Chains A and B, each alone.
Chain A
């Protein structure tokens, strides 16, 4: 992401904020409306859908992803922020009687026909035309059968029972195992990792990629892309027992508590033996350049 357009975007929004707030300084009501409008611009952009007309979040997201079009704020986040901005405006306005009066009086004046907010000549069309029509449109919209695809609230690391005492026996080999192998621990782990790389290349890399970054040739065919193991929020934040069970069970084997399921990961139990999975885990963490999480010991 280049810095110059980013700074321009932020500065542009700051200038816009300053100008709008200055224009709205004459009353509390206008200031409140200006803040709401600026909030919407912040979230939606000025001309949603147009590359240059899109300020702040959609625009910065566009720049950061290298996309050609602004990236809209997802619906869930959008409404969360809109509710927050509206709540904030109402709280500040009602924090003192004086500002509350300044906010409400023009609205009452509008209803009573005392003027102030808008000229009397557009009062009638506004009160009896625009507002009822707007309400009707909203009601109509609410009653339309939903056409938007549903939101999916996924679990990042689905609940899945596993053996807490699990330690990869190939990462921490016992004396017996080393005796059988007949070499030092380092060579043993290296040899196992090497075998793991082969297994990984054969079974995992089509989706998770040769660099364990989730960009294998099959990745684009999946609706939810495969995990990028180099991201510190994935396997690095999980203990190895979890990763082991997740490979064994895949997406299909997740228990009900792990719903909603949203994982194309196949179930490897039956196709790969325990020790094969252990080798793959060695290779996977090694490729991604991360280490499994070790639970902290607190005294």
Chain B
């Protein structure tokens, strides 16, 4: 992501050289310095942002087309070109009906830079393989650690295959265009040769549609969390396809406590749980567990 293209014109001269190396987040809050947050926990500050600056940045990120992102904005975020997620805070309107129509008077934004780190999940593949298939797998991590990055690379490696195993047909439900970063339906990120992407589609509907339509060997989906999500996962588990999903949680214990997951956990249908942790130096460590929660590595 080129910061000179997305930050307000008034800030561009203050952007230091090579500031995009290792950049993970850009945070702008009204009246506070704009922060560039890096993987190694370091921070660089730019001049204070005003509401006008934030509005200008939103214009650049949305291609001057915020209206086209209205549905996403109701959820408090949208995905910019390249798969970067832009979270928004401000005043949510229409509180009376308990239905958020949108966010106005934006007071802060958080741009999470999408990374395509090829081969970051290569070391996981021997644990995920189950003969010519793969184990049903959940990637678990707290926000900002890199679940989607790992998921993207897993998809690429599985669909590409290797010397021992052929590539598998992977169908991806990309609700927020973060995995494939589709532009007009065509993936911009490298997901391998055997991937079908259903872009901008709700997870639950998407999983069912793909199951029926694309005869996938693996269905990949990001950020499972709701009751309906896991109900759809259950359907996949009993359909012959395999699931590769991510879940927000800091540890396996937190996953075990998730109310909607109890059935799936008891059935022991998930063969692998991969917990991703971020070390202080910014490096990621992966811990793989089997269906009995026995640690494999």
The yes or no verdict on A and B being binding partners is no
Which residues of B pack against A, CB within 8 Å? Answer: none
